[in-house]
A and B are shown apart, each in its own frame.
Chain A
Amino acid sequence: MENISDIEIIDSVLKGNESDFALIIERYKDRAFSLLSNMLKNKLDAEEALQDSFVKVFRSLNSFKRESKFSTWFYKIVYNTGLTIATNKKRNLRMQMNSIDEFYNLKSDDNKIYSTTENIEEYIAEIVNQLPVKNALAIILFYMDNFSLKEISEILNISLVNTKVLLHRSRNLLRELLLKHNYKEEIL
């Protein structure tokens, strides 16, 4: 099943084999759920957003123009659905915080996170979860979903330069935090 491309599955669904859409769900559900969980910070909201996203994708398959990859188009819908749910639930997404420099909370939370995590991967995952939403999403889309900077800029609807800045600043912050802690010894 993994050999079948997204486009082949979509074509099959559009021909009337609606049950084939389950393949698309299986393929993307976990990664989309990771993205939405990070975005909404609430499992129930993330699940609702995930269901809505897939239903929207199914209903809009006809309008998928195939100019970009299906995954880019799909994540664009997931991101926008997440934003809608967040707005409806009046969740504070820290969306206004365009700069990671304004992310003052992390400094006080960092020591707590550091003391409760067992290894570097766990620590970094926790810190990513605390980052401003757009920074975290840029990281997730780049590292977890292997999107290019251009594709990420399309999904998040921001410029390519801004996407690059988001990613670089996030990495810089994480590096500074690692150097601040005992990981410095480990590295050296």
Chain B
Amino acid sequence: MKDNYEELYNKYVDGSLTTIELEVVNKLLNEDEAFRAGLQAHKLVHNSLFKLPVIKAPMEISSKIMEKISTGIPEKYKKSYFFRSVVITFVVMLFFSFLLFVFSNGNVQSNEEVFSVYVKIQDFFKNIFIKTETLLGGNLIKTIGGVFGFLILLFFYFTLDEYKKFKKILKQF
């Protein structure tokens, strides 16, 4: 019975009683004193809740927030381009390695008449590869490759970072 009453109280204050339920409520209001008291208390709660006090935010909060916004992005919200740079560098180096592998591979079968351009490019890369390897030796070329990779990584990192700053400056205009 209590549960039924509670459902009716809530539906009453929400204005979602059906016609039949409204008839039941009217009947109970006339016949059941406990129901009447409960409904009035429920209405009182409902009306009082509309008067809940709003707690004022500190006075200087707006200026503090605007200052945070205008002085740039707080470190914790800063997107890091490092991971992106690593991925791009990896892809670029993979691409160059692939080119180097394809064009320096002496086993690639080709018809010189049909693929003359291809053969010329292949010869070009093969020559570079062989000459560099002869000149610098195996370990040195690996070291230079590593340094080259690192430089590409830095290049992408700073380019992306500068691009972001540039976009922000553009926005201000």
Residues of A within 8 A of B (CB): 16, 18-19, 21-22, 25-26, 29-34, 37, 47, 50-51, 54-56, 58-59, 120-121, 124-125, 128, 139-140, 142-144, 168, 171-172, 174-175, 178-179, 183-184, 187-188
Question: Is B120 an interface residue, CB under 8 A from the partner?
Answer: no
Annotate B81-123 by CB proximity to A: 1 below 8 A, 0 otherwise.
0000000000000000000000000000000000000000000
Which residue of chain A lies nearest to B51 when distances are taken between CB atoms in the complex?
A121
Contacts A29-B57, A55-B65 given; does A172 touch B52 at CB 8 Å: no
Q: Cβ of B126: which chain A residues have Cβ within 8 Å of it?
A: none
Number of CB contacts from chain A to chain B under 8 A:
113
Q: Assess the B45–A175 pair: CB atoms within 8 A.
A: yes
Contact of A51 with B68 in the complex, beta carbons under 8 Å: yes
Chain A positions within 8 Å of B68 at CB level: 51, 55
**Contact residue among B45, B52, B69 (Cβ-Cβ distance under 8 Å from A171):** B45
A contact residues around B40 at 8 Å (CB): 187-188
Interface of A is mostly: helix
Q: Is the CB of A124 within 8 A of B55?
A: no
A33 to B58, CA, bound (A): 9
- Chain A residues with Cβ below 8 Å from B57 are 29-30, 32-33, 47, 50
Interface residues of B (CB under 8 A from A): 6, 9-10, 13, 37-38, 40-42, 44-46, 48-58, 61-62, 64-66, 68-70, 73-74, 77, 171-173
The 10 A-B pairs at the shortest CB distance, nearest first, are namely A33-B57, A29-B57, A143-B49, A34-B55, A174-B45, A187-B40, A124-B48, A175-B41, A54-B65, A178-B41
Complex: A142 Cα to B48 Cα, angstroms = 13
Contact A124 B45 (CB under 8 A): yes
In the complex, the answer to whether B77 meets A25 with C-beta atoms within 8 Å is no
- A37:B37 contact, CB within 8 angstroms: no
Query: Do the beta carbons of A179 and B37 come within 8 Å of each other?
Result: yes
> Which partner residue on chain B sits nearest A47 by CB separation?
B58
> Shortest Cβ distance from A44 into chain B, in angstroms?
10
Q: Which residue of A lies closest to B46 (CB)?
A: A171
Distance, CA A21 to CA B67, complexed state (A)? 12
Chain B residue numbers with a CB within 8 Å of A128 are 49, 52
A32 partner residues in chain B, CB cutoff 8 A: 57
CB-based nearest B residue for A34: B55
With a cutoff of 8 Å between Cβ atoms, the chain B residues found around residue A34 in the complex are 52-55
B107 to chain A, nearest CB (A): 52
For the complex, give the distance between the alpha carbons of A26 and B62 in Å. Answer: 7
Say whether B44 contacts A120, CB under 8 Å. Answer: yes
